[in-house]
Structure 1
């Protein structure tokens, strides 16, 4: 990747709906080489997809929970089962395997506390974790989608 690729990525991260002609103009390329660079970055998995960013609260998903999970054991079987479970739960927006005092951290988006309780019960039944600790967001102070490279 070179400086032009980085510039293309900055533009796409800010607005993936920009026409190729506009992107090419902004990075001083003609359209075909610009499009080829984008396709190459997609093929290499650098660009994972193009999406519309949606305000969760405006579509009825007003509760965000950060859920810390401690595994009951650290076998590959438990971890694989947990991975399958969280990947099958549409409420889980992000999931991370962590270092430190918790094993996994999930960002969960649901309409309300009842929906969270339903999610929580499915998580407990499906994974049987040692411990689950939830924290609820009161306000989003900062949210970025543009990587700082």
Structure 2
């Protein structure tokens, strides 16, 4: 089901991206609609896949995962077997919060959330035993200047 997004939908999406826990009444008030009309719009956005899911954003510091690391990988292997192994490893390691195949000099970028350098070393050792890589380097985030899940709709 394809849905055409208008400015009303965009207001709803902006509000829900800031706080997906808004009550139907609070959301309707925030976007200037009646409760029922707003609720129908939300249901249409969900049914069409525009709203993929609603989640709680957890403070990484509060749960002992305050260290954010970007892991840059290069591989000399680009066959299906390697890719299957790599994808399996990425999906099985909960510290990896995002993984991206890249164009350019780097083949893959992983974003990893952990609590300490010792935990990173443990993660690194487990990763390189699961999948062979040609080069691996890590960049540790010193300060999150901007880190958002909100899309500019």
TM-score range, shorter chain: over 0.9
Q: Tell me the residue number matched to 2:82.
A: 78
Q: Bigger shift: 128-137 or 45-54?
A: 45-54
SS in 2 for 1:18: coil
- TM-score, normalised to structure 1, is 0.92
Q: Bigger shift: 69-78 or 8-17?
A: 69-78
* Contact map agreement 1:72 1:128 (CA 8 A) in 2: no
Number of equivalences: 149
Q: Tell me the residue number matched to 2:61.
A: 57
Q: Which runs of no fewer than 5 residues in structure 2 stay unpaired?
A: none
Runs of 4+ that moved beyond 3 A: none
**Using the alignment, how far apart are the partners of 1:106 and 1:137 within structure 2?**
13
SS in 2 for 1:67: strand
- TM-score, normalised to structure 2, is 0.90
SS in 2 for 1:108: strand
Q: Tell me the residue number matched to 1:146.
A: 150
Task: Output the aligned Cα RMSD.
Answer: 1.4
**Using the alignment, how far apart are the partners of 1:91 and 1:26 within structure 2?**
36
**Using the alignment, how far apart are the partners of 2:100 and 2:115 within structure 1?**
22
